[in-house]
Structures are given as C-alpha cells and as structure tokens.
C-alpha cells in the first residue's frame, strides 16, 4: 500500500498551508510566526510531544507501536532577503523577504509527512520530524544539533529533500555520494597609500595591486588544485576609491570558495594567503584576509541512497528516480550528515504551464504545488521502510 493517494486527498489543505507560509515569510532565526503555525498544525493532528528547539525550531516524535530505532526527517523553514516579484494572490506581504528557495513547501511537506505518519505510525521505532530554522547562511542545523536535536532519543539516520525547479514534477534525483559543496567565504582588504591621480609615484595604488591579486588568485584553481577535485573560486564583490582624480588607499574584495573534497577545502586558505602576500609585498602594499569556513560538504551515506530509490519507486512508480552529479551550492543539512548517516535528495517541481520554471533564489521563483504529495509520501515511506528494516 502506498501513501500517495492519502497524500493527494490532503492537497487542498496543504496548498492553503504553503500559501499562508509564502505570504508570511520570515528570515532565519526570526521564524516565530512560522514556528507557531507549525505547532498549531501538529496539535490539530493530535500530536502532544512537541518541542521548541533553538528558539524557533520545532520537533515532534512519531512513536511506533513497539520500541526500536529512531530516524529523522528534516524540513527548513526560513525565507530569503529578496523581494518577491511574482504577480500571484499569495505573494509575500513582507517587503524584501520571500520564500524563493522552496522552504515554505519543505515545511508543508514535512507537515504532510506528519499527517501521513499520524494515520500510519511505524510498527517499531520512532520518526523524529525536524522543522529547522535558519538554513540560509545562519547555521540553523548546527544550532539544532547543539540543542540536542539528534538525541533523546538518539537519531540513527536522517533524510531531507529540496525542491528542484530544473526537474519536472513527478521525478526525483539524488547523488551517489557528494551532494553539495562546502560553502566558504572570504573578505580581503588591499592596503596601499592614497595620493593624487597625477602623481602615482608618490602613492601605492591599491586598485592596480588588487587587480594583480585578483588575476593571480584566479590561477589557484586552474594551476594549484587537482583538476579531478571540483572547486569554484568566485570574486563576488569589489569596492575601492571615491574620486576619479585620486588614487585609492584601500580596496575591499569579497567572494566564496566551493569544494567537494574536504582535503582541498582546507588547502585553499593557505594557498590564497601565499598569493596575496607575494603580490602585495612586491608592490609595497599590505593586506588583511579574513577567511570564514561556513557549511561543510554534504556527503550522502552511500548505503542510504538505494532506500530513497525504493521509496520513490514505491510511491511514484518506476523510472522516476535518477542519479545526478553533485551541486556546487551549499546546504546546511551537511551538519547532520557529519554526525549521523544521512541522505539528501531533490524533488522535481518544474511546470512551465504553471509558470514554475524560474531558478532557486530568483525573484519570480515559484513551484508546482502538485509535487507536494509526492514529497510528503516519499519522506514518510522512507522513514517507515528504514524502521521496518531495523
């Protein structure tokens, strides 16, 4: 028996839930109303063992008929600091804040899984549902872990999904091992000496030095990193100078580094420091470099990938699951995967007839809500299958 038919019967309510969340987005660590909404829906389903974790996170335990292992399902709840430019009735009413990464649907699908599991609890063991705040760069998963979300009872394995507007509704993708890259960031300040533009020999031109630094750093990946270890080095911003007839004393550069190989990840800072030091010293300038390690790479437990394929086949049928290449985007689900066996997969939500074809983080991003029963039923089925095998 599959859970999909039951899930599809709930779709009208789930659409209402998702659109409510879409109209009322909240940024990371500020999801107080979202948290309240989740708790209210869980109580309506009959759940009582609901906990608030990390201030705005929510967990609930679906207890089986007999003792056993515990598996977890995670959905993130925060929105992005981007204006919603869609012309739809459920457009964000919070200026400058919008659910443009699908977290409103992630929350709804996890609530949907809660509803399915309430009616179909595991025979043995438990399913812990984790409604997580602050995925978008504010370390929500890490905060939840520090608040013991993987304990009491101890979680043995965890699954999470993300909507994918590049894949049509009704299809699911997953990677065999590496799923998302480590996402690290840097801020670099090149310090020269200001002066009159007509007398450059009396100054140290931070802009020309910065140009040399940027050009040299672009060779890090092409000439100092194993070409079989995917790495992205991107300068995202540069700021310097305030007048056309003056030599700037300082230039600030910011960017990000994405790596799949943990060994390569921890080589970049030292290599970058060496290049910057050499170039700035050659021109008589100095520098400050701040390198921040954010999300580690997300590595799927290879033993769990077949279980996702099994759940997809059980709920959606054959030929709906495929293995894809890793993404160089970051995902804080990686913090869970660093602690316990984990698997992360992507749910197709693309439907051009519904104007659901814009990429993630685009001001007009939207998704095909018909995909939500697929996500909810796959999550619930995966959890039940894991416990049946334990």
Question: Do 242 and 382 have their domain in common?
Answer: no
For 223, the domain range is: 186-293
- Quickly list DSSP for 151-182: TTTTP-EEEEEEEEEEEETT-EEE-SSEEE-E
Predicted local confidence at residue 172, as pLDDT? 98
Q: Which of 262, 293, 324 is the last residue of a domain?
A: 293
Beta-strand pair 321-323/182-191 = unpaired
Contacts of 91 (CB under 8 A, 6+ apart): 22, 23, 84
Question: Do 333 and 385 have their domain in common?
Answer: yes
Task: Give me the numbers of helices (H) and strands (E) for the chain, helices first please.
Answer: 12, 16
The CA dihedral of 363, 368, 374, 378, to the nearest 10 degrees, is -10
Backbone angles phi, psi at 150, to 5 degrees: -90, 10
Contacts of 40 (CB under 8 A, 6+ apart): none
Backbone angles phi, psi at 43, to 5 degrees: -65, -40
Peptide bond between residue 63 and the one before it cis (omega within 30 degrees of 0): no
Question: Do 100 and 15 have their domain in common?
Answer: yes
- CATH number at 243 reads 3.30.70.360
**Along the 390 residues of the chain, how does pLDDT read in single tens digits?**
689 999 999 999 999 999 999 999 999 999 999 999 999 999 999 999 999 999 999 999 999 999 999 999 999 999 999 999 999 999 999 999 999 999 999 999 999 999 999 999 999 999 999 999 999 999 999 999 999 999 999 999 999 999 999 999 999 999 999 999 999 999 999 999 999 999 999 999 999 999 999 999 999 999 999 999 999 999 999 999 999 999 999 999 999 999 999 999 999 999 999 999 999 999 999 999 999 999 999 999 999 999 999 999 999 999 999 999 999 999 999 999 999 999 999 999 999 999 999 999 999 999 999 999 999 999 999 999 999 988
Question: Do 253 and 219 have their domain in common?
Answer: yes
Q: What's the structural domain count of the chain?
A: 2
- The residue among 2, 104, 17, 117 whose CA lies nearest residue 60 is 117
Question: Do 48 and 156 have their domain in common?
Answer: yes
Question: Do 10 and 151 have their domain in common?
Answer: yes
Q: 78 catalytic, yes or no?
A: yes
Question: Do 286 and 346 have their domain in common?
Answer: no
- The residue among 78, 29, 25 whose CA lies nearest residue 55 is 29
Q: 66 catalytic, yes or no?
A: no
CB 87 within 8 A of CB 352: no
Predicted local confidence at residue 390, as pLDDT? 80
Please tell me the distance from the alpha carbon of residue 244 to that of residue 339, in angstroms, as a whole number: 53
Q: Which of 273, 293, 313 is the last residue of a domain?
A: 293
Predicted local confidence at residue 1, as pLDDT? 61
- The residue among 154, 150, 148, 157 whose CA lies nearest residue 71 is 157
- CATH number at 329 reads 3.40.630.10
CB 110 within 8 A of CB 74: yes
Which strands make up the sheet holding 342-350, listed edge to edge?
Answer: 50-53, 57-63, 124-132, 66-76, 157-168, 342-350, 172-174, 321-323
Question: Do 90 and 233 have their domain in common?
Answer: no
Predicted local confidence at residue 173, as pLDDT? 98
pTM score: 0.95
Question: Do 217 and 128 have their domain in common?
Answer: no
Predicted local confidence at residue 24, as pLDDT? 98
Question: Do 144 and 158 have their domain in common?
Answer: yes
Tokens of 335: 């913090």
Q: Which of 135, 136, 156, 261 is catalytic?
A: 135
Question: Do 53 and 173 have their domain in common?
Answer: yes
Tokens of 336: 């869970």
Question: Do 15 and 115 have their domain in common?
Answer: yes
Q: Which of 293, 322, 346 is the last residue of a domain?
A: 293
Whole-number CA gyration radius for the chain: 24
Q: Which of 30, 78, 184, 366 is catalytic?
A: 78
């Amino acid at each position: 028996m599959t859970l999909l038919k039951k899930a599809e019967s709930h779709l009208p309510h789930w659409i209402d839930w998702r659109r409510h969340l879409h109209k009322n987005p909240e940024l990371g660590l500020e999801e107080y109303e979202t948290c309240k909404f989740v708790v209210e829906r869980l109580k309506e389903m009959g759940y009582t063992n609901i906990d608030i974790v990390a201030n705005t996170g929510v967990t609930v335990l679906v207890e089986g008929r007999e003792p056993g292992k515990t598996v977890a399902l995670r959905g993130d709840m925060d929105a992005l600091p981007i204006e919603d430019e869609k012309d739809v009735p459920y457009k964000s009413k919070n200026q400058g804040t919008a659910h443009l990464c699908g977290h409103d649907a992630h929350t709804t699908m996890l609530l949907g899984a809660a509803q399915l599991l309430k009616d179909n609890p595991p025979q043995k063991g438990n399913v812990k549902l984790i409604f997580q705040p602050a995925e978008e760069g504010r370390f929500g998963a890490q905060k939840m872990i520090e608040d013991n979300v993987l304990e009491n009872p101890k979680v043995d394995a965890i699954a999470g999904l993300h909507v994918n507007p590049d894949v049509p509704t009704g299809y699911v993708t997953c990677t065999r091992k590496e799923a998302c890259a480590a996402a690290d960031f840097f801020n670099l300040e090149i310090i020269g000496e200001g002066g009159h533009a007509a007398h450059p020999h009396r100054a140290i031109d931070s802009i020309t030095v910065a140009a040399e630094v940027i050009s040299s750093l672009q060779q890090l990946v092409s000439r100092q990193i194993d070409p079989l270890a995917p790495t992205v080095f991107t300068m995202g911003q540069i700021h310097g100078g305030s007048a056309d007839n003056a030599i700037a004393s300082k230039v600030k550069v910011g960017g990000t580094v994405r790596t799949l190989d943990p060994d390569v990840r921890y080589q970049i800072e030292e290599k970058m420091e060496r290049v910057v030091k050499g170039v700035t010293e050659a021109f008589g300038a100095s520098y400050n470099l701040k390198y921040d390690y954010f999300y580690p790479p997300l590595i799927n437990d290879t033993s769990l990938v077949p279980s996702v394929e099994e759940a997809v086949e059980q709920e959606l049928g054959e030929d709906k699951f495929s293995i894809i290449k890793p993404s160089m985007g970051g995902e804080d689900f990686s913090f869970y995967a660093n602690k316990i066996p984990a698997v992360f997969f992507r749910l197709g939500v693309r439907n051009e007839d519904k104007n659901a074809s814009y990429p993630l983080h685009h001001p007009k991003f939207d998704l095909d809500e018909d995909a939500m029963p697929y996500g909810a039923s796959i999550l619930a089925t995966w959890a039940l299958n894991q416990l049946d095998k334990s």
